[in-house]
A and B are shown apart, each in its own frame.
Chain A
Amino acid sequence: MNSTKSIPDHIQKIDNDLLKLERAKRNYSFLSIGIVILVCYLGISVSENSNAGSFARGISSFFDYPVDIISEAYQSGFSFYGLIIKYIPVLIETINMAVFSTTVGFIGGLIFSIFSARNLIKNPTVIFWVRRLMDVCRAFPELVIALLFLYLMGKSALPAVIAISIHTAGALGKLFSEAVENCDMKQIEGLESVGAKWIMRVRFGIIPQVFPILLSYTLLRLEINVRASTILGFVGAGGIGEILSKNIQWKYGADICAVILILVLTITAIDYLSRYFRGILIGDGKKGLGFGAKILPGKNE
């Protein structure tokens, strides 16, 4: 009785709140650990059931395939360099697919973002429907759209371009609209005061402010899209992915090795280039800007 009286009420309250928070935190931790264990158990049992080969056998034969193709590449000697040059044109096709569809996606995303930004559009119905459209574009994986269009249009690079463009427009639109909504509105007001029309306010008030951020997001997306267009090539959309899948079917070890090598080099090169340009655009130094997830709108401006 004595001890409770000596502590003032508000301190006691803070103490209780702290305890409550601590308990909540502990509960969350236990809950998440429980879920993780449950998922692991479920996952391993389902995987063991439905996997064709067992886990143990897989681990032991993990290096077989890489060793196979690398030794074949080694045996081919100097002609290996010829193979690399042979596959440069298809690589360029894949990069073209990625760059073209990223550009289309950029334009689409820009339109989406402007029409779904609360500070530019006053009509809530328009915002609602544009956002839902964006969500739909984003939710469809590229593969699903690409396969449908491959069926409708036959095998070519076109379905992949359409699929990546749609997905990119949705994904970029969401990021862009956040950037546009975080804009400084003073510039818009200034333009409004001199009688600028809506389109002019967007052109001279919004675009110059957000353009560096938009470009850096787009560069990041380009990286992802190069990978995506390779994968879509795998299901029949042309480019280096299709060549890789054919070589795998024919079991041409040296060719597989050459394709994988130039693929990895390209992806790494695009990775570094886009990081370099993002560093320039955001102006926050070139180092330490490894991933776009860190470039939050407004944070580095």
Chain B
Amino acid sequence: MSDVSIPLRDKIYQDNIHVFETASKKAKQTGIIFTVVVLYFLFAFFSLGVDKIAEKWNPERASFLALDIYAHKDHFKMPWKKTENKLQITLEGNLRQEYKVTPEWAEKSDDNKWTVTFKNGGKVDAYYFPDNPLAGYAVMYDFPGVEEIFTFRINEDKRPYVEGYEDRVEELPGFIRQTKNKLEVRPSLFSRIQFTKSKIEIHRFSRGWKYFWFDNNGPLDGYSLFGALSKIFSGDRIVEEMSNAKLIWVEFTENELWQHGKAWYALLETIIMAFMGTLIAMLVGFPLAFLAAYNITPLAGVRFAVRRLFDFLRGIDFLVWSLIFLRAFGPGPFTGIFAIAFTDTGTLGKLMSEAIENTEKNQKEGVESTGANKTLQNRFGIIPQILPVFISQSLYYLESNTRGAVIIGAMGAGGIGLQFLGALQTGTDFENVAYYTVLVVGVVIAMDMFSAWLRKKLIVPFGQFG
């Protein structure tokens, strides 16, 4: 810049003033748009409460959910009163999943004494006295990283306390929480002790999904999957009534904890909703699209009516359609099928009518020149041109409708969406939530891949002819 004198620079500026003005105007415009966007963003940020994200986050629930997704827990529940009869060792506290044989980690090590051993070596001894329930106490020891031995007792006022810490509750280590009626102890992530005046409850976590293949009420309790499968080829039956292969199938699908049969049937319902809905939309939307295209239908009135029909079907969201159908058909796949079919008839019909209007005239004229009538002209002049678009679009809709069917399902139409919502609302069955999530995501990915594969398979041969 140094060898350009000031007057010359001004002259360049004066000569090309339109260039500079346009540029500065554009920069100003961009600046204004940017400021407006940022201001709106800030407004939305605070009005939606995004700044309160940390307050709303519930870490306790999050850790339960995370832990439950990859681990299961065994409950050891021992009331101080009538202990002999009321002691329960169950899976996830579910009374139907009580262990018939006492597992090796819990043992009656003495008269009036039970010992629970954790996987990390930690032990809890629980002493009970049939004559005097309030004298029951528990001793916790051998946990890695915890050197002290803690003893939990109940005092005369029926309040639980930690021995030696009666007067200095605030000096208790962080993993022991003492409230008025309860001691909550979590010496490690995979162990938890709840001590109250009426009972002691010990949760022992282990990795993995237990009883995923066979529950512990059936004859296959204790078999691993491959252990059971290998029995198919051995002659002797496990149960008299049915063959081993059938037994494995029945036990697997009717697993009480995981309910595979039910979940898969729900999944099938969801897929059927998506499939049938898209199919009906294709079958209805395709002919209607011809009625809405100006190069096929000369009657403006018909075109107008069909187009408004498409707008109507599309504009009323599938949420509203599913509400209306939910009333008419009740909960079930029909609701989902028709909600999807109605919305997508509008969408596909509009799309296809535009595709028909964009077709080349020449092919139709060529067919016309051979003396073919109107129907044949459309069949051989128009359809081959739009068929690839139609099929690939329909497959795209099938894909997105799979997600849609999950959503309609959760709103009441049934299927895997409703199962998912139900499992989540119980607040305890997070392993089922995780299982259904895996199923939903799996079916969405499978549908994606299936439609991509089908698109490739179908479009190439049609393309060669069309």
Residues on A lying within 8 angstroms of B by beta carbon are: 21, 24-25, 28, 32, 36, 39-40, 42-44, 46-47, 50-53, 55, 58-59, 61-62, 64-66, 93, 96-97, 99-100, 103, 135-136, 139-144, 147-148, 151-154, 156-158, 161, 227, 230-231, 234-235, 241, 248, 260, 263-264, 267-268, 271, 288, 290-291, 293-294
A62-B339 Cα distance, complex, nearest whole Å:
12
A50-B318 Cα distance, complex, nearest whole Å:
21
A66-B324, A151-B65 are contacts. A97–B48 as well, Cβ < 8 Å?
Answer: yes
Q: Give chain B nearest CB distance to A24 CB in angstroms.
A: 6
Q: Which residue of A lies closest to B353 (CB)?
A: A290
In the complex the two chains form, is A135's CB within 8 Å of B445's CB? Answer: yes
- Chain A positions within 8 Å of B351 at CB level: 290-291, 293-294
A97-B396 Cα distance, complex, nearest whole Å:
26
Q: Give chain A nearest CB distance to B188 CB in angstroms.
A: 23
Q: Which residue of B lies closest to A260 (CB)?
A: B320
List 17 interface pairs A-B (beta carbons < 8 Å), by A numbering: A43-B275, A43-B337, A51-B332, A53-B332, A55-B329, A58-B328, A61-B328, A65-B323, A99-B44, A139-B444, A139-B445, A142-B403, A153-B57, A156-B56, A235-B411, A267-B315, A293-B393
Q: Which of B438-466 contact A (CB under 8 A)?
A: 440-441, 444-445, 448, 457-458, 461-462, 464-465
A210-B393 Cα distance, complex, nearest whole Å:
24
In the complex the two chains form, is B269's CB within 8 Å of A46's CB? Answer: yes
What string of 1s and 0s marks CB contacts (under 8 Å) between B291-320 and chain A?
000000000000000000001001111111
- A21, A47, A97, A148 — most chain B CB neighbours (10 Å): A47
Q: Which residue of A lies closest to B433 (CB)?
A: A148
Q: Does B234 contact A (CB under 8 A)?
A: no
A100-B44, A234-B319, A291-B350 are contacts. A144–B420 as well, Cβ < 8 Å?
Answer: yes
Q: Give chain A nearest CB distance to B284 CB in angstroms.
A: 14
Q: Does B421 contact A (CB under 8 A)?
A: yes
Q: Does B327 contact A (CB under 8 A)?
A: yes
- Chain A positions within 8 Å of B457 at CB level: 28
Main SS class of interface, A: helix
Q: Which of B316, B337, B358, B458 contacts A47 (CB 8 A)?
A: B337
- Chain B positions within 8 Å of A235 at CB level: 410-411, 421
A54-B80 Cα distance, complex, nearest whole Å:
55
- Chain A positions within 8 Å of B421 at CB level: 147, 235
Q: Give chain A nearest CB distance to B96 CB in angstroms.
A: 25
Interface size on B, residues (CB 8 A): 77
- Chain A positions within 8 Å of B320 at CB level: 260, 263-264
- Chain A positions within 8 Å of B41 at CB level: 100, 103
In the complex the two chains form, is A143's CB within 8 Å of B275's CB? Answer: no
10 A-B pairs besides A40-B276, A53-B329, A141-B407 with CB distance below 8 A are A43-B276, A47-B276, A51-B332, A52-B329, A100-B41, A143-B417, A153-B53, A158-B48, A235-B411, A291-B350
A144-B416 Cα distance, complex, nearest whole Å:
11
- Closest 9 A-B residue pairs measured CB to CB? A51-B332, A52-B330, A53-B330, A58-B329, A65-B327, A47-B333, A100-B44, A153-B56, A43-B272
- Chain A positions within 8 Å of B319 at CB level: 227, 230-231, 234, 241
Residues on B lying within 8 angstroms of A by beta carbon are: 37, 40-41, 44-45, 47-50, 52-53, 56-58, 61-62, 65, 265, 268-269, 272, 275-276, 279, 311, 314-320, 323-325, 327-335, 337, 347, 350-351, 354, 357-358, 393, 396, 403, 406-407, 410-411, 414, 417, 420-421, 424, 427, 433, 437, 440-441, 444-445, 448, 457-458, 461-462, 464-465
A58-B330, A151-B65 are contacts. A46–B461 as well, Cβ < 8 Å?
Answer: no
Q: Which of B279, B314, B417 contacts A40 (CB 8 A)?
A: B279
A156-B427 Cα distance, complex, nearest whole Å:
18
- Chain B positions within 8 Å of A47 at CB level: 269, 272, 276, 332-334, 337
A43-B275, A157-B49, A288-B358 are contacts. A64–B328 as well, Cβ < 8 Å?
Answer: yes
Q: Which of B334, B433, B441 contacts A140 (CB 8 A)?
A: B441
Q: Give chain A nearest CB distance to B350 CB in angstroms.
A: 6
A32-B393 Cα distance, complex, nearest whole Å:
16
A117-B272 Cα distance, complex, nearest whole Å:
36
A103-B41, A241-B319 are contacts. A161–B50 as well, Cβ < 8 Å?
Answer: yes
Q: Give chain A nearest CB distance to B134 CB in angstroms.
A: 38
In the complex the two chains form, is A28's CB within 8 Å of B458's CB? Answer: yes
A151-B424, A268-B315, A290-B350 are contacts. A39–B276 as well, Cβ < 8 Å?
Answer: yes
- Chain B positions within 8 Å of A141 at CB level: 403, 406-407, 440, 444
In the complex the two chains form, is A36's CB within 8 Å of B279's CB? Answer: yes
Q: Which residue of B lies closest to A269 (CB)?
A: B315
A148-B424, A288-B357 are contacts. A52–B331 as well, Cβ < 8 Å?
Answer: yes
Q: Give chain A nearest CB distance to B377 CB in angstroms.
A: 21
A99-B367 Cα distance, complex, nearest whole Å:
49
In the complex the two chains form, is A50's CB within 8 Å of B407's CB? Answer: no
In the complex the two chains form, is B269's CB within 8 Å of A231's CB? Answer: no
A169-B325 Cα distance, complex, nearest whole Å:
32
A151-B437 Cα distance, complex, nearest whole Å:
15
